[in-house]
Amino acid sequence: RNGWPILLAVALVAVALGYIYLILLRLLAKGLIWLSLGFCIVALAGASWYFWAEGHTALTSNNNMTIAEMQEMDLIAKVVSVVAAITACGVMCLSCCCASEIDLSTRCLQQSTQVLWKMPLILLAPLVKAIAKGCLALAFFYGCVLLWSTAKVTGQGTNRHYDFTPEQEVYIAIWIAVSFWILELVSAIYQFSIAYAVAKYYYTPSDNRGDRAVDPFALVQGTKVGVMSHLGSLAFGSAIITVLELIEKALQYAELKDEEDNNQVVECMVRCILCCCRCVRICVEYVSKNAYIDMAVSASNFCTAIRNVGHVMLDHGAAMAVLNGANFLFQVVGVVGITTTCGLMAWALLGLDTFSHTSSSYYVANHVLATAVACGLALIVSWAFMTVFDMTSDTLLFCMAMDIRQHGSAVNADHRLKELFNQARQTAARAQRAKEQKQQKLQATNARGAAKNSKR
């Protein structure tokens, strides 16, 4: 509670770093990726060394701590050090193994940042969505509390018990389901508005210099079109995801209750079902996102958009998968870089007398927990910015795939985007050929082994 100034500073810095990161990609995409990777490795390695060597001294500086608390803090420091070291090794391996894809990723980034540069209002979309969902979440929570207060209360203090009638339980269940549904609908409108703005950029004819006269307020127009013309389709797609989310929440609750009974068979079954449910939800979210893009491009309903997405995935799924992998590299770099920077800043601020001295009104006793909360907040903010870029690049690729499917070639894409897509298709084709050659060698080896066994 006393560390709210640090959390506020971390949130503001994370927002600023998100904007700076996206803007610099237009000018220094390739260099920024390598610089971010190097900074992440150095920062994580330094944090690992610090927590291993000095973490015990820093965390146990409070003289009022007992021996058990000091040992617990020492264990926490060692765990944080190991996690940071493993993450640094993971980023290093990612840099080495994906070096060939960095050029492809850079070109894809530059195409998407060009769209964001033409329509900078898109960069405000994550902030607007976060504010809207936050306000709605508070309103829904307040309404749920009011519904909960209609119960018959027995007992006092910690022994208080709430008795609900069947009608009240139904009302609360409906309220919770509708709350999740509306929050998911806000996300769907957010995705549709970005897809509409990017699609409008893609289909705008270019002049002799290759520039496109794009409406900078296309995002606002996309929101209007989504609400006025496609609200039913967006609500239908959101309802499917909401049902899966509610099933997942119910399974998580069942898993939590099973911990009290300690039934390992039930626990295994619940976790398996929960894993399957999460996989289905992730797949449905990905398909729904592309369906929203198709709705923005072709003005179709949700079911028709799903069918069009299936055709596009069958025709160009390999190339789109390659480019999505390249974008994932950028997202990892951005999220890890911003989160690490904000975490180090929070740890440095906690070392000031304002937050470390026991006589201060802003004294924070647990620096590790405060830093972890700050990193979590920075992670949420940075991931919001990365999703904007991901939605922009996905819309560009889907528009190009639809263009090729309808006209036989990407007549509306510029030459750089065409080269990028062709390179991705060639990469996917090489991977497919290598897979086929590997299968042929395996079949030949098995045939020779079978021939030798028959001779014996």
Dump pLDDT digits (tens) for 148-180: 888 888 877 667 787 888 888 899 999 999 999
C-alpha 413/C-alpha 103 separation (Å) is 20
- Whether the full predicted model's pTM is greater than 0.95, yes or no, is no
Residue 415: name the closest of 185, 217, 210 by CA.
210
pLDDT for res 239: 92
Sequence-distant contacts of 19-24: CB under 8 A, at least 24 apart = 19/123, 19/385, 21/334, 21/337, 21/338, 21/385, 22/113, 22/116, 22/123, 22/385, 22/388, 22/389, 23/113
In 102-208, where do the E strands start and end?
A: 152-154, 161-163
Residue 364, token pair as written in the block: 């924070």
Cα four-point dihedral sign 172, 178, 180, 182: negative
Looking at per-residue pLDDT, the higher value among 191 and 271 belongs to 191
Q: What percent of the chain has pLDDT over 70?
A: 79
Going by the DSSP 8-state scheme, the letter that residue 347 receives in this structure is H
Residue pLDDT, tens place only, 227-265:
998 999 999 999 999 998 888 888 888 777 766 667 777
Residue pLDDT, tens place only, 110-121:
677 777 777 777
Residue 292: name the closest of 133, 398, 178 by CA.
398
**Angle (deg, nearest 10), helices 125-148 and 367-407:** 120
Backbone angles phi, psi at 161, to 5 degrees: -130, 140
Cα four-point dihedral sign 137, 12, 105, 205: positive
Looking at per-residue pLDDT, the higher value among 318 and 181 belongs to 181
What is the separation, in whole angstroms, between the first and last Cα of the chain? 78
Please check whether residue 48 is in contact with residue 82, taking contact to mean a CB–CB distance below 8 angstroms.
yes
pLDDT for res 456: 61
The C-alpha torsion from 311 through 314 and 318 to 319, rounded to 10°, is -30
pLDDT for res 421: 63
Residue pLDDT, tens place only, 374-424:
888 888 888 877 778 778 878 877 887 787 777 766 667 666 666 666 666
Q: 3-state class of 162 per DSSP?
A: strand
pLDDT for res 138: 92
pLDDT for res 278: 85
Residue pLDDT, tens place only, 74-101:
777 788 888 888 888 877 776 676 555 5
Query: At residue 257, what is the residue type?
Result: K
Name the residue with tokens 């990892």: 332
C-alpha 79/C-alpha 133 separation (Å) is 34
Rounded mean pLDDT of 17-39?
Answer: 71
Please check whether residue 81 is in contact with residue 55, taking contact to mean a CB–CB distance below 8 angstroms.
yes
pLDDT for res 424: 62
The C-alpha torsion from 200 through 284 and 254 to 148, rounded to 10°, is 30
